[in-house]
Amino acid sequence: MRSDVELKVAGFNLGDFKRMAIEDETTGMVYEGYATKRPPASLSRMVMSPTPMMKAAVFKSQVATRLFRGWFGPLPYGRLSVTRQPSFGPGQSWPTLIHLPVSAFLDSTQRHSLIGNSEFMFSRFVQEVTPHEVAHQRWGHLVGWATYHDQWISEGFSDFSTGLFLQATGPRGKYIQFLRRSQEVILEKNPFGFRTNDVGPLWMGHRLITAKTASAYRKLIYPKGGFVLHMLRQLMFDAQKANDEPFIRMMHNFVNTHHNKDASTESFKASIEKHMKPWMDLAGTGKMDWFFGQWVYGTELPSYEFEYSLNAMEGGQAHLKGRISQEGVSDGFRMAVPVYMRLKDRLIRIGAGNMIGTDSPLDINMQLPWMPESVEINSLYDVLAEKVTIKRQ
């Protein structure tokens, strides 16, 4: 005969729980979902059972794991359990176990009944919390961080992974909005007039927190850490083959090298240098010191101005003439700024301008195979810039 201890867990009869499981041959994992049929006591009069949305949370975890497997390599775990906690906001992740907020187990109608019009903005958090916590199965667990200086490898990499999920599962606009919001958080001022980015470099970690910058850690380590990885992805992009293979190979190697080990900022830099392409060597040293000095150990943010003209040519071709200027940075600040042409709903990368300091604008003079609607720079937020101005003459 079973005892009360076996029949009850934290005040609930076992019959109050619902479980589901999915076996996935692609990842070799079993995905489990657990939820109570009753909502938390604090919400019991306002919402229905959380269990109907459990299936969606489990499926989303499965999709995220499949996606991240391609970008970063497989997980060594045989299962992943997803359950909900009473808290309405934060999620948490442990190896093979994810606690999602109860809000992720409610539909939009129920959330609207609780928080009104704020549900529209909160729904973005609900869309992002699951892939973020799934990403922590790798960033923070499979690959740890050496010191507080390196914790951006956990939170920033998980933020970047969330962006990959949005890019793969939704319209392009959702991914662009994610990058735009990340940039806005990095640039916004707090009530004391401090911009998040200016409080200190990414490498400072929790030491960014003071009485007047209480939210600096959360508002910098997550979005700027993710932006650093996003910029590296864009920098490593193989324009000739139009793919991310150099970046993917580097990330697979980084995970394999640090499997069940603690990674440091410098060991991550070493992984990049092992796979860097000639077009990444902006300082001519064969090292990525220039990039990390600016974006991880520094706080500078560039602004860009792009002036251009387009003239029609025979055969539907076009002649592009333009100039890119970099402003607001020191003399040695270097960055590759991608140039795109827009054809209806297509965005095609046509090159990148290597910028140094503020006194060396880049002139562009080239023939395009088609007459585009427009020519742009930094269209995919390739560089974390303070301002981008584009003028067509």
- pLDDT tens per residue across all 393 residues of the chain: 333 334 344 444 555 678 889 999 999 999 999 887 766 665 555 555 666 678 888 999 999 999 999 999 999 999 999 988 777 777 899 999 999 987 777 766 666 566 665 544 556 777 899 999 999 999 999 999 999 999 999 999 999 999 999 999 988 789 999 999 999 999 999 999 999 999 999 999 999 999 999 999 999 999 999 999 999 999 999 988 989 999 999 999 999 999 999 999 999 999 999 999 999 999 999 999 999 999 999 999 999 999 999 999 999 999 999 999 999 999 999 999 999 999 988 999 999 999 999 999 999 999 999 999 999 999 999 999 999 999 999
Residue 170: inside a domain, yes or no?
A: no
Q: Are residues 198 and 209 in contact, defined by beta-carbon separation less than 8 angstroms?
A: no
Q: Does residue 17 sit in the same domain as residue 91?
A: yes
pLDDT at 8: 45
Please state, as a whole number, how many other Cβ atoms lie within 10 Å of the Cβ of residue 102: 22
Residue 278, H or E segment = none
Copy the structure tokens of residue 69: 């497997």
- Biggest alpha carbon distance in the chain? 88
CATH number for the domain including 327? 2.60.40
Judgement on whether residues 128 and 9 belong to the same structural domain of the protein: yes
Contact of 320 with 364, CB cutoff 8 Å: yes
Instruction: Tell me the C-alpha distance between 370 and 315, whole Å.
Output: 8
**Whether residues 63 and 124 fall in one domain:** yes
pLDDT recorded at residue 262: 98
Given 295, 311, 337, the domain boundary residue is 295
What is the reported pLDDT for 53? 74
- What's the domain range around 98? 4-137
pLDDT of residue 145: 97
Residue 98 backbone class (left: φ over 0; alpha: ψ -120 to 50; beta: rest):
beta
Using alpha carbons, list the distances in angstroms from residue 111 to 100, 118, 183, 373. Answer: 15, 9, 27, 41
Please say whether the beta carbons of 10 and 32 come within 8 A: no
Record the tokens describing residue 334, joined without a space: 């270097």
- Structural domain contains residue 341: yes
Domain containing 37 — which CATH number?
1.10.390.10
Query: Where a domain ends, among 270, 295, 320?
Result: 295
Q: What is the dihedral of CA 383, 230, 373, 339, to 10 degrees?
A: 50
Residue 166 domain flag: no
Residue 311 and residue 277 share a domain: no
Q: Which residues, at least 6 apart from 142, have a Cβ–Cβ distance to it below 8 Å?
A: 75, 76, 95, 255, 259, 260
Domain for residue 159, yes or no?
no
* Residues 235 and 345 occupy one common structural domain: no
Structure tokens at 307: 């002036």
Same-domain pairing of 199 and 276: yes
Q: How many separate domains does the chain show?
A: 3
On whether residue 103 sits in a domain, the answer given is: yes
Number of H helices, E strands in the chain: 10, 16
260 & 313 share domain: no
- Calpha distance 235→374 (Å, rounded): 22
Which of 119, 137, 155 represents a domain boundary (last residue)? Answer: 137
Does 237 lie in the same domain as 200? yes
285 and 189 in a common domain = yes
Domain for residue 144, yes or no? no
Residue 307 and residue 382 in one domain: yes
Per-residue DSSP letter, 336: E
